[in-house]
């Protein structure tokens, strides 16, 4: 791989070591996720040649959950990476731009309003994510080609706050409905099975290739909207494609697990810290690190408040928020 | 003078006798002690088990938290309390404005749901707070006695409780020989999860009283951790009861979605065809004496059918 993009700044670690570390973290995270769960009698030693109930538990409940965590990490970190590059805003992420909350609003409307009872919840989530994205970008002036960074974040916060206020209204409804909505909107992957994994993969893997295809355009965005335009990459098209990919990845993720914040915000920054600014490398690396973060969060979610499982979205926030704070205070790329 | 002194005790006794009907009484409850009027006429109740208490002694509330759905108050209660009550909204977030507008002289609230609103409720009317949601069956019966005292009907309430205990003893005598050695578990399921009612819950303690075993260990924690426990299929496979009683709030329910999965099909209760539906509303929400009797009748029916 050439170093033609040194202008983006190289990472701090030798690349081989960094990739090796990331893979080691991913692999250990996967083991952690597989070794923990509702049955205390199925653990690490059962992962090799499991039989009887241990085999059933691992193949039918823990493996799909492990893959779901992996794909959710991939989807959300790619959404964040693409949004940060396409909007040239280091704060951009599915949660900050309101996509997560929009998807959650879509879900809640689907659960609460009889009008939408025939519409599959995943469609409601996707429509909600797209809708929130479109409104946020319209507020920021993104569709006119002159996106205002500050207006983007403010617009996203406003759209997110509005959507989530509507979602929280549903919490006050009667118990069973409120519990359903809370379960949907807290970021929860307990009892995930293979069909949900297939759905995540169906969107996530094409999303990964689409992000790779878009990576050169994302690199050009870093030069500035005018320069990108001059080099033949219309920034509005990059933004539109990026938003579509990010909204699709976010929408499918929310439809499976509910909104999970911080993955999309934190992981791209960690990847840039380790690997520099070339998006042709950042795309696969962010996917890898996002997956690793989610796998660890899944493992922790099962042991933190055992025997009751903590929602994975809460655990991600517990890991992601302090990291983001550290990044804000000490790292250069947010200053 | 001598007369006056002689008459003083008589006067005093007369004064006390005259004064006592309007004297407030102190009722000790979960959040302290409250002065309650002697003969409250306008009562607002915020849990279904308190309706059971009022209906037990023939008192109708002016307002009740029926979750905005009047059919959640079952017919045997309506037969006693009529249907003139004003709905004050959901049990979880009752409308304080509607409660205030009813000008109640007594409010009966729940510890888990309404502790945060206790001060506001107390400004509206004397409020007593009992642990309906988080308490077990035996606590529920004790609460009935407390409500009886609070509404000035302790004699009638004691009679009802005595009759109830006799009824339950008959049910227990019927069920106990058949329940021996069977681990039974009750849970409710909606579209998004399964919540098992632990041995600390109303239903869990009832099943224990009927003589069933429980395989469920109870952890410490909040009400939705130790009493109503969210449970995954993997966790259920470890608890693995012999008899699984499921109250479904959704059709198809979350538990229905497990059908066909190896882990589910290998549950002891599934293999023995002993996953049985019960009425979620009556079992899970009512938590009164009538609810206990209905639950017991259900269990008698279930055990007869299993034989």
- Span B72-131, pLDDT tens digits: 999 999 999 999 999 999 998 899 999 999 999 999 999 999 999 999 999 999 999 999
The pLDDT of residue B284 = 94
Q: Which CATH architecture has domain B166-306?
A: 3-Layer(aba) Sandwich (3.40)
CB B263 within 8 A of CB B233: yes
The pLDDT of residue A40 = 80
Which band of pLDDT confidence, cut at 50, 70 and 90, is reported for residue B24?
low
Closest to A228 in 3D by CA, of A217, A213, A214: A217
Cα dihedral sign for B38, B41, B45, B49?
positive
Residues with Cβ within 8 Å of residue A312, at least 6 apart in sequence: A69, A187, A188, A189, A257, A260, A294, A297, A298, A301
pLDDT at B207 over 60: yes
Percentage of chain B modeled with pLDDT above 70: 92
Which band of pLDDT confidence, cut at 50, 70 and 90, is reported for residue A145?
low
Tracing tokens 């409850």 back to the chain, one arrives at: B29
The pLDDT of residue B9 = 52
Residues with Cβ within 8 Å of residue B36, at least 6 apart in sequence: B24, B25, B26, B27, B106, B126, B128, B150
The pLDDT of residue A114 = 81
Q: Strand B86-87's sheet: what is its strand order?
A: B86-87, B63-64, B43-45, B106-110, B127-130
Torsion from C-alpha of A228, A229, A235, A238, nearest 10 degrees: -70
Lowest mean pLDDT among A67-76, A98-107, A199-208, B57-66: A98-107
Which band of pLDDT confidence, cut at 50, 70 and 90, is reported for residue A296?
very high
The pLDDT of residue B264 = 95
Tell me the ipTM for this assembly.
0.79
Distances (CA, A) of A190 to A247, A302, B270: 24, 9, 21
CB B228 within 8 A of CB B260: no
The pLDDT of residue B18 = 44
CB A84 within 8 A of CB A268: yes
pLDDT at A265 over 70: yes
pLDDT at A5 over 60: no
Is the domain covering A25-330 a CATH 1.10.3470.10 domain? yes
pLDDT at A4 over 50: no
Closest to A25 in 3D by CA, of A315, A319, A295: A295
Lowest mean pLDDT among A201-205, A256-260, B268-272: A256-260
User: B153-168 pLDDT, tens per residue?
Assistant: 999 999 999 999 999 9
Q: B10 or A158, which is more confident? A: A158
The pLDDT of residue B17 = 43
The pLDDT of residue A334 = 54
Q: How far is A62 from chain B (nearest CA, A)?
A: 9
Residues of B in contact with A305 (CB under 8 A): 221, 225
**What residue spans define the domains of chain A?**
25-330
pLDDT at B139 over 90: yes
Q: How far is B233 from chain A (nearest CA, A)?
A: 7
Residues of B in contact with A193 (CB under 8 A): 261
Compute the mean pLDDT over every residue in chain B, rounded to the nearest whole number: 90
The pLDDT of residue A176 = 74
Q: CA B37 to CA B20: how far, in whole Å?
A: 11
Residues of B with CB under 8 A from a CB of A: 67-69, 90-93, 190-193, 217, 219, 221, 225, 229-238, 249-250, 254, 261-263, 266
HSE-CB at B83 with a 13 A cutoff on CA atoms is: 10
pLDDT at A191 over 70: yes
Q: How far is B125 from chain A (nearest CA, A)?
A: 24
Q: Kindly state the tokens that stand for B93.
A: 């977030």
Average pLDDT over residues A205-220: 93
Q: Cβ A307–B233 below 8 Å, yes or no?
A: no
Average pLDDT over residues A201-226: 89
Sequence ranges of chain B with CATH classification 3.40.50.1980 = 17-152, 166-306
Hey, of A58, A174, A304, which one would you mutate to test binding to chain B, going by the most B CBs within 10 A of its CB?
A: A174
Q: Cβ B217–A193 below 8 Å, yes or no?
A: no
Q: A126 or A31, which is more confident? A: A31
Q: How far is A174 from chain B (nearest CA, A)?
A: 6
Percentage of chain B modeled with pLDDT above 90: 80
pLDDT at B240 over 60: yes
Domain at B17-152, CATH class: alpha beta
Residues of A in contact with B187 (CB under 8 A): none
Phi first, then psi, for residue A94 (nearest 5°) are -55, -35
CB B119 within 8 A of CB B96: no
Average pLDDT over residues A12-29: 85
Residues of B in contact with A174 (CB under 8 A): 67-69, 90-92
Average pLDDT over residues A145-156: 82
Q: CA B248 to CA B252: how far, in whole Å?
A: 8
């Amino acid at each position: 791989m050439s170093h033609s993009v040194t202008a983006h700044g190289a990472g701090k670690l030798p690349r081989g070591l960094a990739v090796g570390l990331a893979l080691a973290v991913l692999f250990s995270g996967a083991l952690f996720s597989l070794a923990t769960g509702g049955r205390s009698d199925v653990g690490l030693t059962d992962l090799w040649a499991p039989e009887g109930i241990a085999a059933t538990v691992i193949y039918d409940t823990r493996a799909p959950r492990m893959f779901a965590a992996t794909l959710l990490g991939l989807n959300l970190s790619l959404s964040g990476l693409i949004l940060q590059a396409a909007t040239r805003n280091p704060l951009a992420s599915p949660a900050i731009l309101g996509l997560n909350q929009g998807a959650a609003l879509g879900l809640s409307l689907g659960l609460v309003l009889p009008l939408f009872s025939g519409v599959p919840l995943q469609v409601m989530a996707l429509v909600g994510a797209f809708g929130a994205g479109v409104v946020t970008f319209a507020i920021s002036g993104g569709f006119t080609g002159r996106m205002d960074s500050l207006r983007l974040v403010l617009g996203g916060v406003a759209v997110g706050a509005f959507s989530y206020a509507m979602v929280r209204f549903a919490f006050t409804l009667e118990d069973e409905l409120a519990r359903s909505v809370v379960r949907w909107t807290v970021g929860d992957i307990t009892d995930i099975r293979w069909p949900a994994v297939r759905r995540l993969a169906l969107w996530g893997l094409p999303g990964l290739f689409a992000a790779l295809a878009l990576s050169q355009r994302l690199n050009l965005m870093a030069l500035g909207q005018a320069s990108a335009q001059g080099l033949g990459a219309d920034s509005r098209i990059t933004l539109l494609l990026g938003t579509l990919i990010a909204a699709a990845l976010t929408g499918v993720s929310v439809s499976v697990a509910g909104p999970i914040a911080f993955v999309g915000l934190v992981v791209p920054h960690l990847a840039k810290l380790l690997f520099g600014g070339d998006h042709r490398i950042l795309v696969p690396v962010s996917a890898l690190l996002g997956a690793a973060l989610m796998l660890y969060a899944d493992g922790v979610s099962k042991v933190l408040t055992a025997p009751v499982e903590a929602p994975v979205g809460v655990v991600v926030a517990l890991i992601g928020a302090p990291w983001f704070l550290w990044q804000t205070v000490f790292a250069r790329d947010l200053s | 003078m001598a007369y006056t002194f002689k008459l003083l005790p008589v006067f005093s006794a007369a004064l006390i006798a005259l004064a006592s009907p309007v004297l407030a009484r102190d009722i000790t409850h979960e959040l302290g002690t409250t002065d309650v009027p002697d003969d409250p006429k306008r009562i607002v109740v915020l849990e279904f088990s308190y309706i059971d208490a009022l209906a037990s002694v023939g008192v109708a509330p002016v307002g009740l938290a029926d979750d905005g759905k009047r059919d959640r108050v079952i017919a045997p209660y309506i037969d006693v309390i009529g249907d003139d009550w004003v709905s004050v909204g959901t049990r979880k977030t009752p409308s304080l404005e509607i409660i205030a507008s009813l000008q109640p002289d007594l409010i009966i609230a729940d510890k888990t749901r309404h502790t945060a609103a206790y001060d506001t409720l107390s400004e509206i009317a004397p409020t007593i707070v009992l642990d309906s949601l988080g308490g077990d069956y035996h606590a529920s019966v004790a609460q009935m006695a407390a409500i009886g005292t609070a509404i000035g009907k302790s004699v009638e309430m004691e009679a009802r409780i005595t009759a109830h205990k006799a009824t339950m003893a008959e049910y227990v005598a019927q069920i106990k020989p058949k329940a021996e050695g069977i681990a039974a578990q009750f849970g409710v399921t909606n579209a998004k999860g399964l919540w098992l009612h632990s041995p600390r819950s109303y239903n869990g303690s009832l099943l224990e009283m009927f003589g069933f075993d429980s395989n469920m260990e109870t952890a410490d924690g909040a009400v939705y951790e130790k009493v109503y426990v969210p449970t995954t299929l993997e966790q259920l496979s470890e608890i693995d009861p012999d008899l699984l009683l499921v109250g479904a709030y959704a059709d198809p329910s979350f538990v229905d979605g497990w059908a066909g999965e190896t882990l589910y099909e290998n549950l002891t209760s599934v293999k023995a065809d002993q996953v049985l539906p019960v009425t979620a509303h009556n079992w899970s929400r009512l938590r009164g004496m009538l609810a206990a009797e209905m639950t017991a009748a259900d269990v008698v029916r279930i055990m007869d059918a299993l034989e």
